[in-house]
């Protein structure tokens, strides 16, 4: 598959959401997914008809080291459990 050029993804949230969920806003500011990973997940969703939620869960399960860079130690503990 040809690779896509790098792209910035902009996330917009309401002021109310930001005020009510600052931990999620902080998390979203830290998220960084390599374009190669995005392309791979999209291709799997397309080729294998994988539902988005299933693809997201598989990505999270298979990319612990990357995921933990975006979140607090407490959030990583909740998501992955004890090391």
Please give the DSSP secondary-structure letter assigned to residue 37.
H
pLDDT greater at residue 12 or residue 52: 52
Give residue-wise pLDDT tens across range 1-15. Answer: 555 566 666 778 899
Kindly write down the DSSP assignment for every residue of 4-23, as one continuous string.
PPP--------HHHHHH-HH
Q: How far is 28 from 22, CA to CA, in rounded Å?
A: 10
Is pTM beyond 0.85? Reply is no
Average pLDDT (48-68) is: 92
Confidence grade of residue 54 (pLDDT, cut at 50, 70, 90): very high
The distance between the two most distant Cα atoms of the chain, rounded to a whole number of Å, is: 42
């Amino acid at each position: 598959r040809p690779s896509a050029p790098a792209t910035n993804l902009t996330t917009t949230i309401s002021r109310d959401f930001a005020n009510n969920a600052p931990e999620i806003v902080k998390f979203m500011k830290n998220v960084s997914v390599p374009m190669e990973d995005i392309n791979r997940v999209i291709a799997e969703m397309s080729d294998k008809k994988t539902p988005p939620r299933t693809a997201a869960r598989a990505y999270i399960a298979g990319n612990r080291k990357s995921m933990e860079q975006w979140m607090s130690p407490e959030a990583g503990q909740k998501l992955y459990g004890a090391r």
